[in-house]
Amino acid sequence: MEQPNLSYIQSMSGGDKTFENKLISIIKSEFPKEKATYKTNIDSSNFKKAAENVHKLKHKISILGLEKSYEVAVEFENNLLENSTTGKKAFEAILQKMTDFLETI
């Protein structure tokens, strides 16, 4: 499985470390809340709301350089809209990788 990285953030910043740190700080602040909201909705089988949560989380997946994982998230979001949890395990593995990465930076 691919690993989260800061390549996209660094390419956007043009070397501006203040910008990079601010964006990372925002992600570190928002991600746990968005992940918790997703978990609440998926656990209560509120698939439409969970799909909305996945949609929001996709942006952070992309920002952390996870191109293949982004495609997994797109597919999972579409499945949720069809009331299917196919792809849940793979999506949640991505969330865990992101959590682990954000704890180290």
Q: What is the pLDDT of residues 3-62, one digit of tens each?
A: 999 999 999 999 999 999 999 999 999 999 999 999 999 999 999 999 999 999 999 999
- Which residue, 78, 97, 98, 100, is CA-closest to 87? 78
The helices-and-strands tally (H runs, E runs) of the chain is 5, 0
pLDDT recorded at residue 100: 97
- pTM as predicted: 0.94
pLDDT recorded at residue 25: 97
Residues 6+ apart with CB under 8 A from 40: none
Give tens-digit pLDDT for 66-90.
999 999 999 999 999 999 999 999 9
pLDDT recorded at residue 1: 65
Asked if residue 101 lies in contact with residue 27, where contact means CB atoms within 8 angstroms, the answer is no
